[in-house]
Amino acid sequence: NAGVTQTPKFRILKIGQSMTLQCTQDMNHNYMYWYRQDPGMGLKLIYYSVGAGITDKGEVPNGYNVSRSTTEDFPLRLELAAPSQTSVYFCASRVDSNQPQHFGDGTRLSIL
């Protein structure tokens, strides 16, 4: 029972590089979310999706892009990595708005 799977677990990037954080869930959940967690701060929503082909911005979307071509996958793309994007990134999903969110184990990203 995999749940929400995020890859990679750790990554170091140089300023200006690009990368994609992968997120996949095997629970057939419609809703998927990307958050970032900075030290001493609460989680902030980056982007979310209510179903395949539908995405929308959250609280802190600048510098990121997403796509949702399938129900299972919700990748997060960083085009030009900046030091301010050093953070822990969490992907989450839920079946509908009345149910709890299920989280992956996170991707720890450092940009130097």
Partner 1 sequence: KQEVTQIPAALSVPEGENLVLNCSFTDSAIYNLQWFRQDPGKGLTSLLLIQSSQREQTSGRLNASLDKSSGRSTLYIAASQPGDSATYLCAVRGTGANNLFFGTGTRLTVIP
Listed ranges 12-20, 21-29, 48-56, 72-80: which one lies at the site for partner 1 (CB under 8 A): 48-56
Q: Please tell me whether residue 84 adopts helix, strand or coil conformation.
A: helix
**Interaction of residue 71 with partner 1, rule CB under 8 A:** no
Out of 19, 27, 50, 52, the residue judged to bind partner 1 by CB under 8 A = 50
Residue 22: CB atoms within 10 A of its CB come to 16
Q: Is 106 in the site for partner 1 (CB under 8 A)?
A: yes
**Integer distance in angstroms from the first to the last C-alpha of the chain?**
36
Which member of 7, 18, 84, 99 binds partner 1 (CB under 8 A)? 99
- Could you tell me the two tokens for 80? 């030009």
